[in-house]
Copies of this chain bind each other. A is one copy, B any other.
């Protein structure tokens, strides 16, 4: 663990726990879903194996994550504790803040479709739910996510079966742009392929039908 800031300040003490390099990205991966060591390694391109191990130990000691033994295959899985899951709020805040950094598109950066789960929720949160109940899938690469409207807002999670009113097929930048409702993608929005009931998709994003 990096040296403590030694300050009686909530922000400093929070950063003593999650401020080290990779720590918040590990939490991001576990906010998407509990994961095995190898899955974390794959979802965090660039991390060294010794660092990942160190960080997991430190986060476990701090009470942010915990090791779980699966009943069936005895495999170790890492998951957030209740307190660790509370990092969703500040992380979603950072994601909303980062919008200007995302408009230029992926460039040479790595991209995993699963990383869309958090920003979709962060950007859609607080938006009024569409008038009628719709269930929309968003397909990126080989992953399919589901947006489901509820009374309290719009939920985002990986699709696990069930009927979908529509499927929106797009890449990462386009999906984020639609969700934010503000991104222009350098004035050159890429084509978005919509399968199914287009009106349902537009209802989700609250865009007026042409």
* Chain A residues at the B interface, C-beta cutoff of 8 Å: 2, 5-17, 19, 21, 24-25, 28, 45-46, 83, 86-87, 89-102, 105-112, 115, 118-119, 122, 172-173, 176
Contact = CB atoms under 8 A, between A and B. Distances in A.
A39 B83 CA distance: 34
A137 to B, nearest CB: 21
B115 A7 contact: yes
Given A10-B98, A17-B101, 5 more contacts: A7-B25, A9-B115, A9-B119, A10-B99, A91-B93
A119 to B, nearest CB: 5
A86 B97 contact: yes
A46 B6 contact: yes
A97 B14 contact: yes
Given A19-B21, A93-B93, A101 B13 contact: yes
24 contacts: A6-B45, A6-B109, A6-B110, A7-B46, A8-B102, A8-B109, A8-B172, A9-B115, A9-B119, A10-B96, A10-B122, A10-B176, A11-B98, A13-B98, A13-B101, A14-B95, A14-B101, A19-B19, A83-B100, A87-B97, A89-B97, A90-B93, A90-B94, A90-B97
Contacts of A86: 97
A6 B97 CA distance: 18
Given A19-B24, A100-B83, A109-B6, A94 B45 contact: no
Contacts of A89: 93, 96-97
A21 B7 contact: no
A118 B11 CA distance: 9
B101 A10 contact: yes
A76 to B, nearest CB: 25
